[in-house]
Structures are given as C-alpha cells and as structure tokens.
Structure 1
C-alpha cells in the first residue's frame, strides 16, 4: 500500500501522549513512530486518525507482556512494518509518498528501509510468547510501586501538593473523563446520568474533547500544554497542568499568551491519576472514572513506565469513592419509574375514551378502547410488580 509519510520524533511514541503528532495525521497517511510495545490507546488513536500504514522503528511487541496495539492495527487492515531501526527517521522525509510492501519501505523505486511485516499470525505468535513475560513484569511492578510510594507519599497519604481550585467538589459527584478507547461511547451513554445528577465534569487531555463532542463543558480540564485545546481551556473554570520541570515554564507562558492561566500540579503521577487525586482531595462524594481500563491487561498495556504504580496506588487511595463508568451504566436507571409509565398509558387511553364519547363514537369503539385500556394497564402493572419484586 502507499500513503503519505508523517514522521514523528525519534524516542516519541507518536501516540496518545504526543497530541501534536496525532493532529498531523489524516486519512491515507503512514505513521512513522518509535514505540516499544505499541499499546491499545496509541493503536486506537492511530486508527481514529485514519492511517493506512504504520512504520515502527522499535519492536511493536518486545515480549515483556502481551500488549494489545499491534493486534488492533492488523485486525483493522492497517499495514504494520515493525522494528525498522532508528535510521528510518533520517532516511524518510516527512510528507514523502512511501510504499509498504513485504516488510520494506520504498520511496519511488528505491527501498529506503526494511523491517518486519506483521500480520494476524505473526502477532498471535508473538503475543503467545509474550504471555510468559507477565511474571517478570509483575515483579518489576512491585519494585516500581515501592519507589513511587516513597516519592509521592505526602501526596497519596496527606494530599500535599494538590492545588487549590475554584470549582467546588465538596460532597458532590465528579465525573473524570480520560482520553482512551471507547471514551466517546461511554460519555454518550452517561448523558442521562449527567443530566439528572449534574456532576462536576473533569476532562483529562483528549477526554475534555470527548465531553465537548457530547455537548458538555468540563468545569476542570487537566493535561499537558500540547494536549489541551486553548478554546476549550478558556471555557473551563480551572485549568490544571502537570508541573513538568522540563517544559512547564515554557508551556505556562504559551498558555497565558492564549488567555489561559493554568494551575500547576507538581507530581510524577500521570494526568489521569492527578485528576482522580484532585477530586478526592477536594472532598468529592463519588468519583466516576470514564475511559479508564482497570484490568490487569490495561495496567500493563501502558506506554509510560510510571503509569502502573501511579494508577494502582491512586485507586487504593480513593477506595470505595471511585467507581468505573461501566458499573454506573449497569446500575443507573432513570428516575422515571415503571409505575409512572403505567399511569401515563392509562391516562392517554382514558383521554381517548372521553374524546370518543364527546365525538359521538359508537358503543363498539368505546368498548374497544375501554377493554384495551384495561388490558394495557394490567400488563404494565404486572411488569412493574415483576421488576420491583
């Protein structure tokens, strides 16, 4: 297949944690990235951008654990040329037309770089082998968790470092939306819950865009300068930015130039967990997590090494205050009860009978309406009793 090469930065995933790169991608492009163990979130973001091919300088499946990204790409018919080496960033020019064939990347008639062509069978074999690396990853997880706890003990235990915000969350329900696979669908499914309970909405990175697309305006947005949309940030009551010492000062000046005055959150936790800790520290009665994957595979299938202990310890800190969106969707029902619907049906049929009498309808029509009304009322009552009982 052929497409336009969009070359990312060497050492950058070109995925969900590189929003500027994602915005450059469009339908028919070939994404040139550098990400070991291509995760599900990155693969989904690439698919949503419409890419037809992916050229990865690194191995998409290293064998450390069974990551899900490559399987998602090949199942969707995206050509994946894997493990091409770092020279791909110097050998390929951004915007050039490339052709991918049998593991090779061609520009015109010239083979520029060669990798490994992944397909369903090769990905399945590599994933089977990678499942054997789970034990080693769990051991590393234990060590990283102890290290993270030592570094962020004050934040996790006492809430030290959580910034003050103008949005009130005390004794309120808070919905935290992160940009992940299925986020848009979960937000749309929660529309009834949001309208009824009017929770405080917090958008993290692309999660803020998902809220806007569903017709909601987040009160708080949190993310890096590259992730946040200035137009959406200006509408939020609070804008919280991770205080990354490498880029926070420059990013702060840029956002202030755009009319946004962000609040710094000094922590090495990932932005999604910062948002959960922010809600908990400000007294949220219930925190609903949207776009989060709390499964073991989801914990391991992350591109950032610090994400696993951060997410694990954050969930322990929030405890029963935190619930995931699928649980809310399974339990939530509208306050319009079945009994109310029964009464509505009976009222409509009664009105029909009255109208028929007023218009001089024959006895047979009135009898039909009365009989139908009683039948519908009995059926609806039986349904109500069955559900409530």
Structure 2
C-alpha cells in the first residue's frame, strides 16, 4: 500500500488583531462609516469624551491614533473611556499610519501596525496604568492651561465684544422665540439620556426645539421635529435638513461656510450667521437675542474639563456665551431634577371620578350601603314619576 504525503499549504495565522481600516483625520466623520470590528485610524490629539463615546458605540476592534491621545495639556477622559470599554488603543503612531488606504486589511500586533507583511508604523499601546499616569501628569499641568484659557478668553472678547455685549450681527429668524422656552440639543455628553428624561417637560411646555448640526437628527430619532437647525451643516443628515425646520448656517466671518452649498442644493434657502465660536454658542446667542424666556441645554459643555475638550479656540466662546446668556440657561439634568409634571384639569376630573367610583363600590359591598342605595333608587324613581306626571297631566 502506497502512502502519499501532502504538505500543508495553509499559511500559519499571523499574530495580532486583523481588521478593515477606516481612515479619517476627523473622528466625527469616521464614526459615521465605522463598523464593529473595524480598525479605526485617526489623527486626534487629546481624544475627548464625546469622540470616545462615539467610537465605543461604533465598536471598532482597534483605534490607531497618529497623534498622542493625551498630550498632558489637561486631563481628557477619552483614552480612559476607550480602554475601559475594551477597545485596543495604539497611540502616537505618527503620520505614516494615515497613509493606509481605506478598506485595506490591517494587522495590529501589540504596538506595531502591518499592511500585509509591511510594517507601517509603531506606537504605544495604552493600558489602564498608562492612562492613569497620563491623567495624573495632566492634572499637575492644569494651572498652565487655565492661564492660557484666560488669555484666550480676553482675546475673544476683544474680537467679538459687539456680538457678545450688544448682539450686533445676530440675524432675524422667523421662528417665534420671544417669551418661549427653547431646548437646544447638541449631540454631546449623554444627550440621549437627557432627551429621554425631558419627555414630560417637552410634552407640557412645548419648547422651541433647536438642533445644533447632528443634534437635529437626535431630535428626530427621539420622535419630535426640530423647529430650527443651527450649525455649519457638516454632521446633519439630509433628512433633517429637509424636515421643514428653519436653517441657520454658521459661517466664518467672511461669510463662507462649508455646508452652505449643500443646504442650497437641497432646495432650502438658509439664513447665514457669520461669527466665530462654536455652533452651540451661536444657537444660544440667537435664542437669547430673540427673547427666549428659558434656554434648556442638552449635550452641551458645562464643566471646566468639558470647556477644555473644545480646545483653546472654542472654549473661550463657550465660556463667554454662558456669561452673556446668564440666568436663562438651564442644563437638562437640572430640569429633570427640578421639574415635576403638571396635572391637567382633565386628569384631576378623571382622578376624582375614579375616587368616587371606588367609594360607591365599597359602600355597595356592605349591607348598610345596599339599603342606602335601595332607598335612594326608590326616591329617584318617585321623582322621575312626578316629573313625568307634570308633562302628561
């Protein structure tokens, strides 16, 4: 009997994590097309909390960052969120990693990144220990960042004092805001949970719903329709832009805006609001200038770390806008803690009838109650007969 020996031609499995590369320097743009198990390739210094939450929701196997996920500028929470969620984070890979073509098969073996057999880049794998060390280092240097924040705030105030102090340049809008509650939704910190807790408030007060870019889609996903959409229109869907809401395009000071032509191509005639600062700040200034009574903020920035998450270019406008809006501004979490749903007149009538019905049924279950209702029934019958006699006599 002849034995034939065959060689095993199946190549050995190469070590590491394999996945399809999705590449974008803008983390916000990448998360829209990121699928579970992909390898996310980004260039994001100081990954903030919103970006980390969006990445975790998309479910990538690995996040490859060309930049440092925590530069030490301030204690940003993004790396900690990713690592705690079980996402492998490889840091400080350099610009070479951004040369990986979209859709390529990538292998990540520890700190090394391969496309085929080619080593593309090598960085640092973040662990709970390294993340904790970076946070501690960042806290030590926080005072320097606060000083730079103060300098940037004064510079922004000099450039935008007319807008901040007198409302110069705020456009007129057709949506009635004077004397009304306004709910501004930003797709930021815990916006889904905040919208869910505000359902009774929205049902009772019927506030004007303003979505800031993707916040308009959050309003639609929650079952409502936005009254106004404010932003540069880089992360809002065509569905939201075509919903009938009034569109306010946040433009640069020269009047140019990346999303302006996109809006016009949909057949929508937008209002253009040229201003520096962030779109959420522009929405608050617009609502305040139009006479809103209360401004409720969902998903916006409120704490020092959240201001720093915006970067020095954005946190000055965020801080000063809140000083301008003043006592009108209420965070969504504060509304949910303080608000109690109002009871309507109809609800009071129904509650009274239910209580009366319960008393009647309880009396009928007793002998005295049965006798009482029997006597009352006889008296009512006599009264009815007497009234009938008046008309037949």
On whether the aligned pair clears a TM of 0.5, the verdict is yes
Q: Give 2:215's match in structure 1, choosing from 182, 196, 207.
A: 207
* 1:170 corresponds to 2:178: yes
The 8 Å contact of residues 213 and 233 in structure 2, kept in 1 or not, is answered as no
Counterpart Cα distance in 2 of 1:51 and 1:85: 20
Structure 1, residues 149-175: CA drift from partner, whole Å, max 9, x if none?
011111101111111111010011101
Alpha-carbon distance in 1 for matches of 2:114, 2:257 = 42
Q: Is 1:29 the equivalent of 2:38?
A: yes
Q: Deviations over 1:56-75 (max 9, x none)?
A: 00000111111010000000
Structure with greater Cα Rg: 2
How far apart are the structure 2 equivalents of 1:351 and 1:150?
73
Establish whether residue 58 from structure 1 lines up as the match of residue 67 from structure 2: yes
Query: What secondary structure is seen at the aligned counterpart in 2 of 1:177?
Result: strand
The residue aligned with 1:122 is 130
Deviations 1:39-70 (A, max 9, x none): 11111111122222111000001111110100
Q: Secondary structure of 1:168's match?
A: coil
Structure 2 equivalent of residue 198 of structure 1: 206
Note the C-alpha offset of 1:36: 0.8
Q: 1:132 aligns with which of 103, 117, 140?
A: 140
Instruction: From 324, 341, 348, give the equivalent of 1:317.
Output: 324
Q: Matched residue of 1:329: which SS?
A: helix
The reply on whether 1:262 has 2:274 as its aligned counterpart is no
CA contact (8 A) 1:55 1:80 kept: yes
Alignment of 1:278-297 (within 5 A): 278-297=286-305
Contact 1:270 1:306 in 2 (8 A): no
Describe the SS at the equivalent of 1:140: helix
Partner Cα distance (1:250, 1:128) in 2:
39
- Deviation (angstroms), 1:347: 3.0
- The alignment status of 1:147 with 2:155, answered yes or no, reads yes
Which deviates further from its counterpart, 288-297 or 235-244? Answer: 235-244
Q: What per-residue deviation string (whole Å, max 9, x for no partner) do you get for residues 73-115 of structure 1?
A: 000000100000011112x111112122211112234432111
Distance 2:109 2:354 in 1: 64
Report the counterpart of residue 188 of structure 2 in structure 1.
180
Within 5 A, what are the aligned runs for 1:232-271?
232-244=240-252, 248=256, 251-271=259-279
Residues 52 and 78 in structure 2, CA contact (< 8 A), matched pair in contact too: yes
Alignment gaps of 5+ in structure 1? 367-389
Please say if residues 167 and 237 of structure 1, whose CA atoms lie closer than 8 Å, have aligned partners that are also in contact: no
Q: 1:348 to 1:100 in 2, by over 3 A?
A: farther
Aligned-pair Cα RMSD in Å: 2.3
For residues 197 and 244 of structure 1, what CA distance do their matches in structure 2 show? 34
- 1-structure distance, mates of 2:238, 2:110: 42
Task: Give the superposition deviation at 1:296.
Answer: 1.4
CA distance in 1, matches of 2:268, 2:159: 30
Q: Which residues in structure 2 correspond to 1:53-92 (within 5 Å)? A: 53-90=62-99, 92=100
Whether 2:348 is the aligned partner of 1:335: answer no
- Contact 1:14/1:21, CA 8 A, preserved across alignment: yes
**SS of residue in 2 equivalent to 1:99:** strand
Sort the Cα spacing of 1:365 and 1:33 in 2 relative to 1 into closer, same or farther, 3 A: farther
CA distance in 2, matches of 1:126, 1:194: 41
What TM-score results when the alignment is normalised by the length of structure 2? 0.84
TM-score (norm 1): 0.85
Q: Which residue pairs with 1:40 in the alignment? A: 49
Q: Secondary structure of the equivalent of 1:6?
A: strand
Q: List per-residue Cα deviations over 1:167-210 (Å, max 9, x = no partner).
A: 01001110111110210111111011001000111000221111
CA distance in 2 between partners of 1:249 and 1:319 (Å): 29
Q: 1:68, 1:301 within 8 Å by CA — same for their partners in 2? A: no
